[in-house]
Amino acid sequence: MAIDPNENVIRRAAEFLQDTDSLFVMTGAGISAESGIPTFRGANGLWRKYSVQDLATPHAFARNPALVWEWYRWRQDIILRAKPNAAHHALVRLERRMENFLLLTQNVDDLHRRAGTRNVREIHGNIFRKKCSRCGAKRDSKDVRSVKDSLPRCTCGALLRPDVVWFGEIIPSEIWNEALTFLRTAGVALFCGTSGVVWPAAGIPEIAIRQGLKTIEVNPEPTPISEIVHVSVRAKAGTALPEILRFLSH
Ligand code: APR
């Protein structure tokens, strides 16, 4: 029986995971695609319909905060109606098998936490958290009010903005440093559902390779990460991750 080419890579990925108790995972929009949340750069990606410049930069917010809030509230609404998918749940099961586990997500959709992952760090923020555009005060709230109610304001009087990292902004250094520290002692790094083109997150696969970790990618499309990892599983995360878990001894 011809072995499905993917079955070999699935087995190899499972072997790497079987042989370690310290796993680093980095996810991107692709892991939430099967929950119905649009990615950014795929065929129906958000950046094909909307311009980053108008929606995801500090300048865009200063120029037209109502438009930016309208777009984020549209995304919040899609996310609130979405549910974690088989890929998110597979990562929860993987976390439970590991002594040490760190999941760095570029996603702002909160689905890893909703699925039950405990050790998740949001390198690009969280779409449901707000931040004051002046004093930086943070507010966690899932109130999805329409933008016509009025723009949310901080107690200091300035406008609140989504607490997400926009283009041209820096990522939270404590999360970045925690990821680098974890990579120093991890055994395997799994990259799932990311196009690997947005820095500095895009630099992590190279760092993992240099640190001597076994590296796995799961993505139905080839990416720059595919070139450098030990195993690249060319499949959807909702299919591949449960498959990989099937090969792991209980
Ligand atoms: N399973 C796994 N991967 C998938 C799936 C799936 N079902 N569907 C699509 N993908 C892959 C695509 O092939 C693509 O490589 O997910 C990747 C999504 O890439 P992007 O849309 O670029 O998302 P991401 O890599 O997370 O973008 C990084 O860019 O716009 C900014 O801040 C935003 O966090 C985002 C960052």
Question: What fold, for 1-37+84-124+170-250?
Answer: Rossmann fold (3.40.50)
φ, ψ at 177 (rounded to 5°): -65, -35
Q: Is 112:119 a contact under the CB 8 Å cutoff?
A: no
Mutation probe of ligand 1 site: the residue of 46, 194, 223 with most atoms within 8 A of C-beta: 194
pLDDT in tens, 118-156: 999 999 999 999 999 999 999 886 655 555 568 999 999
Q: Do domains 1-37+84-124+170-250 and 38-81+129-164 have the same CATH topology?
A: no
Q: Which residues are catalytic?
A: 124
- Residues near ligand 1 with C-beta < 6 Å? 28-31, 33-34, 39-42, 45, 106, 124, 193-195, 198, 218-221, 223, 236-238
Rounded-to-integer distance, Cα 162 and Cα 139, Å:
10
Where do the structural domains in the chain lie, given as residue ranges?
1-37+84-124+170-250, 38-81+129-164
pLDDT in tens, 52-109: 889 999 999 999 999 999 999 999 999 999 999 999 999 999 999 999 999 999 999 9
In 186-229, which residue ranges form alpha helices assigned H by DSSP?
204-210
Work out the average pLDDT over 167-192: 97
Residues 6 or more apart whose CB falls under 8 angstroms from that of 94 comprise 17, 23, 25, 101, 241, 245
Any idea which residue has 């002594």 for tokens? 99
Question: What fold, for 38-81+129-164?
Answer: SIR2/SIRT2 'Small Domain' (3.30.1600)
CA of residue 39 to ligand 1 center, whole Å: 5
User: Which ligand 1 atom sits nearest the alpha carbon of residue 39?
Assistant: 21
pLDDT in tens, 1-23: 445 667 899 999 999 999 999 99
User: Which ligand 1 atom sits nearest the alpha carbon of residue 46?
Assistant: 21
Q: What is the pLDDT of residue 227?
A: 95
CA of residue 193 to ligand 1 center, whole Å: 5
Q: What is the pLDDT of residue 160?
A: 96
Q: Is 80:74 a contact under the CB 8 Å cutoff?
A: no
Task: List strand residue ranges (DSSP E) for the chain, in order.
Answer: 22-27, 100-105, 120-122, 125-132, 138-140, 160-164, 188-192, 214-218, 231-233
Ligand 1 atom 4, closest CA: 30
Residues 6 or more apart whose CB falls under 8 angstroms from that of 34 comprise 85, 86, 87, 236, 237, 238
Whole-number average pLDDT of the chain: 93
C-alpha angle with apex 151: 145 to 156, nearest 5 degrees?
A: 125
CA of residue 148 to ligand 1 center, whole Å: 31
CA of residue 150 to ligand 1 center, whole Å: 32
Residue 220 pLDDT more than 90? yes
CA of residue 226 to ligand 1 center, whole Å: 14
Q: Kindly list the distances between the CA atom of residue 91 and the CA atoms of 152, 169, 184, 191, in Å, as whole numbers in the listed order.
A: 35, 29, 21, 12
The residue among 166, 150, 165 whose CA lies nearest residue 66 is 150
User: Which ligand 1 atom sits nearest the alpha carbon of residue 27?
Assistant: 26
